[in-house]
Amino acid sequence: MTLGEELRQASQALNTEGIPDHSLEAQILLAHALGFSRAQLLARPERPLSPAELRVFWAMLARRLKREPTAYILQNREFYGRDFFVDRRVLIPRPETEVLVDRALAAAKRLGEDVTIADVGTGSGAVAVSLALELPRARLFALDVSAEALEVARINCAKHGVSGRVKPLQGDMLSSLPGPVQMVAANLPYVPDGAELAPELLYEPALALRGGPDGLRALRSFLHQVADALLRGGAFLLEIGAGQEAEVRKLVLAHFPGAGVSVFPDLGGVPRVVEVTPESGA
Return the CATH number at 45: 1.10.8.10
In a domain, 83, yes or no: no
Q: Do residues 109 and 134 make contact, with C-beta atoms less than 8 angstroms apart?
A: no
Pair (152, 244) in one structural domain: yes
Question: How far apart are the C-alpha atoms of 102 and 273, rounded to whole Å?
Answer: 10
Handedness of CA 279, 132, 265, 274 (dihedral sign): negative
In a domain, 143, yes or no: yes
Pair (263, 152) in one structural domain: yes
Nearest to 104 by CA among 94, 90, 115: 115
18-42 per-position pLDDT tens digit:
999 999 999 999 999 999 999 999 9
Q: What is the pLDDT of residue 1?
A: 85
In a domain, 188, yes or no: yes
168-210 per-position pLDDT tens digit:
999 999 999 999 999 999 999 999 998 999 999 999 999 999 9
Q: Is the pTM of this model over 0.85?
A: yes
Longest dimension (CA), the chain: 71
Residues 190-208 as b or e (16 or more Cβ within 10 Å = b): bbbeeeeeeebbebbbebb
Say yes or no to pLDDT of 281 above 80.
no
Pair (148, 252) in one structural domain: yes
Share of the chain above pLDDT 70, in %: 99
In a domain, 107, yes or no: yes
DSSP 93: P
Start-to-end CA distance of the chain, whole Å, equals: 71
In a domain, 282, yes or no: no
225-274 per-position pLDDT tens digit:
999 999 999 999 999 999 999 999 999 999 999 999 999 999 999 999 99
Q: What is the pLDDT of residue 280?
A: 64
Mean pLDDT computed over 63-78: 97
Nearest to 88 by CA among 77, 78, 98: 77
